[in-house]
Amino acid sequence: MVKPNSLAYLSATFLLLTVSTLVSAHSSLHHTFLQCLTHHTKNCSTQLSDIVFANTNPKFPTVLQNYIRNARFNTSSTPKPLLIVTPLTESHVQAAVICAKTVNVQLKIRSGGHDYEGISYISKKHPFIVLDMFNLRKIKVDIKNEVAVVQAGAVMGEVYYRIWKKSKVHGFSAAVCPTVGVGGHISGGGYGNMLRKYGLSVDNVIDAQIVDVKGNLLNRKTMGEDLFWAIRGGGGASFGVIVSFTIKLLPVPKTVTVFRVERTLEQNATDLVLQWQQVAPTTDPGLFLRLLLQPEGKTVTASVVALFLGGAKELVSILEKEFPLLGLKKESCTEMRWIDSVLWFYDDKSLKNGAKPETLLDRHVNTAFFLKRKSDYVQKAIPREGLECIFKRMIKLGKIGLVFNPYGGRMAEIPSDATPFPHRKGNLFKIQYSVNWFDPSVGAAKNFTNQAKKLYNYMTPFVSKNPRSAFLNYRDLDIGVNRFGKNSFQEGEVYGAKYFNNNFQRLVKVKTKVDPDNFFRNEQSIPVCPSKA
């Protein structure tokens, strides 16, 4: 018979042995990976141990947390990678892919960390390595040829700033948020407040570099047009590791105009939203009229936040005719440089607080808050009674807000199969369901994510159908997850049809050709053809 204190001793011994075994296994993986990396890295002057962080390394938590943008995935119970690799050169990326395959561990790829569901830096089912691209952030701007080569680890704020330093009359159509990483943002579609004039980021990409599953560094010519098509809206992480994009610079006027106008329900916000639906997708392509709807106590505030690629006088003249309910006056408008409008649109109080273009270089590392996002597309204007019911539901739920981003203009001119991003002609606007919170409790997370789900379900009659479409860069695991078992293709089709509509099948063909063993995978990646699964 074993005495109780003996049982305690045995339990403690077992625990120590288990911990010892895990530490030994991780140490062995770290050693094996480093050896492999050394063998496969060309002309390396870098101390490779400085770019590979085992989870026993004191710097590991900081490196991991710096680019976690959703605090829901920054808890003690969140699965952690076995290693984080922070490449400094293309050769490091090539070797990391080869070595992750060699040790047979899943590879997650992170550029800016804005993946709303955190799947670029967590995996709940399998051991994994994070390939963090933040050091690969070179930006080469060529004003003469109106192009720029931007590496995947750069953030969009850095891109805007580097363009502005070379030219005051060039910009780029991309993220409103300056800390979004180039690799994920552009490869997922990439939109911003000039999309009605110039389309998406991917509509202005003319070349790219990607490391494929064999560790080859490919450009547009060597990867072929099918793969080049796929990574412009299909998400790069399904096909390889995006190293850089070559983008076409876009002309912007020396003076642009911004404004914000707010109305509550008591100030006829319903009428305002009704008219907004008619105007925002059809007005001058140089005018972007974003609409924010936010419950505040017993009312809802509707805010029209705008960028116009021109002067205030012209803008007021347009909206007096097309959007009279807005009642826009010239004194409500602010004229500024395009680069300042980037700062203003991200935070309209920033310029008053002394923000300069250099502010865009601040990556705001390790500044995550709790959030949930979802998306929809609207193809028929929502009638008055529908809006009234939506507002009542928002007030009842309490915190979840809606962001309406209008389409039309250039977006309606580009064919739906020109890139994997299919949501073009026929879509009036995109909806983002948005809720942020700061309470770290499990109860708070459940409450706020449920608010998002409930409003999403309530919106069913008013949004696109067959499929109910969604935007890849507003990552949402509620709409489907792939477990990569025998039903992998069928599971992928569920979310794939929503993100890519009729382009999903072509993406599957490209995936099957370039990565037949499905090495590059995540919870919502493109699956291979059923015969290859």
Tally: H helices and E strands in the chain: 16, 18
Instruction: Using the Cα atoms of residue 74, residue 76, residue 80 and residue 85 in order, give the sign of their dihedral.
Output: positive
Beta bridge partners of residue 371, listed in sequence order: 436
Is 26 a residue whose pLDDT tops 90? Answer: no
| H-assigned helices in 41-89 | 60-66
Interatomic CA distance for residues 131 and 237, integer angstroms: 11
Indicate the pLDDT class of residue 125, thresholds 50, 70 and 90: confident
Residue-level pLDDT at 42? 78
Interatomic CA distance for residues 237 and 509, integer angstroms: 16
- The two tokens of residue 137 are 């952030």
Is 157 a residue whose pLDDT tops 80? Answer: yes
Least confident of 46-50, 149-153, 277-281, 473-477: 46-50
Read off the pLDDT of residues 304-356 as tens digits, 9 standing for 90 and up: 999 999 999 999 999 999 999 999 999 999 999 999 999 999 998 888 888 99
User: At 403, is the secondary structure helix, strand, or coil?
Assistant: strand
- Per-position b or e across 215-231, b if 16+ CB within 10 A of its CB: bebbebeebeeebbbbb
Read off the pLDDT of residues 52-102 as tens digits, 9 standing for 90 and up: 999 999 999 999 999 999 999 999 999 999 999 999 999 999 999 999 999
Is 293 a residue whose pLDDT tops 60? Answer: yes
| H-assigned helices in 167-294 | 182-187, 195-198, 220-223, 225-230, 269-279
CATH of 139-251, one of 3.30.465.10, 1.20.1510.10, 3.40.50.300, 3.40.50.2300: 3.30.465.10
* DSSP code per residue over 420-443: S----TT--EEEEEEEEE---SHH
* DSSP code per residue over 214-249: TS-EE-HHHH-HHHHHHTTTS-GGGTSEEEEEEEE-
Q: Calculate the average pLDDT of the chain.
A: 94
Residue-level pLDDT at 532? 57
> Domain 257-336+369-459 belongs to what architecture?
3-Layer(aba) Sandwich (3.40)
Q: E strand or H helix at 395, and its extent?
A: helix 384-397
Interatomic CA distance for residues 293 and 361, integer angstroms: 30
Interatomic CA distance for residues 470 and 371, integer angstroms: 18
Residue-level pLDDT at 25? 54
Read off the pLDDT of residues 235-258 as tens digits, 9 standing for 90 and up: 999 999 999 999 999 999 999 999
Indicate the pLDDT class of residue 124, thresholds 50, 70 and 90: confident
Percent of the chain that is helix, strand, coil (3-state, to 5): 40, 20, 40
- Cis upstream peptide for 357 (omega within 30°): no
CATH class as words, domain 10-132: alpha beta
Contacts 24+ apart (CB under 8 A), 163-166: 163/249, 164/338, 164/339, 164/357, 165/141, 166/141
Whether 411 contacts 421, CB under 8 Å: no
Read off the pLDDT of residues 407-463 as tens digits, 9 standing for 90 and up: 999 999 999 999 999 999 999 999 999 999 999 999 999 999 999 999 999 999 999
Domain spans of the chain, in order of start: 10-132, 139-251, 257-336+369-459, 491-532
Q: E strand or H helix at 345, and its extent?
A: helix 338-346
Whether 249 contacts 167, CB under 8 Å: yes
Indicate the pLDDT class of residue 12, thresholds 50, 70 and 90: very low
Indicate the pLDDT class of residue 24, thresholds 50, 70 and 90: low
In 69-126, DSSP assigns E strands to 83-85, 106-110
Indicate the pLDDT class of residue 17, thresholds 50, 70 and 90: very low
Read off the pLDDT of residues 179-235 as tens digits, 9 standing for 90 and up: 999 999 999 999 999 999 999 999 999 999 999 999 999 999 999 999 999 999 999
Residue-level pLDDT at 348? 87
Is 13 a residue whose pLDDT tops 50? Answer: no
Interatomic CA distance for residues 448 and 78, integer angstroms: 19
